[in-house]
Amino acid sequence: MAMKIRLARAGSKKRPFYRIVAADSRMPRDGRFLEKLGIYNPLLPKDSEERVKMNVERIKHWLDQGAQPTDRISRMLEAAEVLPKKERANMKKAVPGKKAQERTEKRAARAAEAPAE
C-alpha cells in the first residue's frame, strides 16, 4: 500500500482549513485516511504558532513506515526541522531568454557607439 502524508481539505467555501493526514495514495483528497497527524490553517498569519500544528512523533513513525510526504507537507516538515532541507529547482522565470538578452546587448552596444549630443 503506497502511503502519503498529505493535506485533506475541510472548512467551508472560501474559508480553507486542512488536516494533515496519513492516507493511502489511491484514496481521494478528502476521503478516507488512516490517521490525523495535525492541522494547517492558511488563514492565520505566517508567524502564528496556531497556523501549523503537527504530531511530530506520529509523523516520524509514518515516515519510518515508508510514507511519502507531499511537497507542501515536506516544506512544513523542513521548517519544523523534521526533514533535512532539499535542493529544489529554482525556476528563473524573471530572467529574460537568450534572444532577449542578445537584443539588450545589441541596444547597449549601439547606444555606446552613438555620439553623445
Q: What does the domain layout of the chain look like in residue ranges?
A: 3-79
Give 30's contacts (C-beta < 8 A, 6+ positions apart): 8, 9, 10
Query: Over 80: is that where the pLDDT of 114 sits?
Result: no
Burial 94-107 (b: 16+ CB within 10 A, else e): eeeeeeeeeeeeee
Q: What count of residues does the chain have?
A: 117
The 10s digit of each residue's pLDDT in 94-105 is 788 899 999 999
Whether the CB-CB separation of 77 and 55 falls below 8 Å is answered with no
What is the pLDDT at residue 117? Answer: 57
Q: Which residues contact 66 (CB under 8 A, 6 or more apart)?
A: 3
C-alpha separations of 109 from 4, 98, 102, 116 in Å: 55, 16, 10, 13
**What would you measure as the largest C-alpha separation in the chain, in angstroms?**
76
Per-residue pLDDT at 42:
94
| 9-65 pLDDT tens trace | 999 999 999 999 999 989 888 888 999 999 999 999 989 989 999 999 999 999 999
Burial environment of residue 74 by CB neighbours within 10 A (0 to 12, 13 to 18, 19 or more)? middle
The architecture (CATH level 2) of 3-79 comes to: 2-Layer Sandwich (3.30)
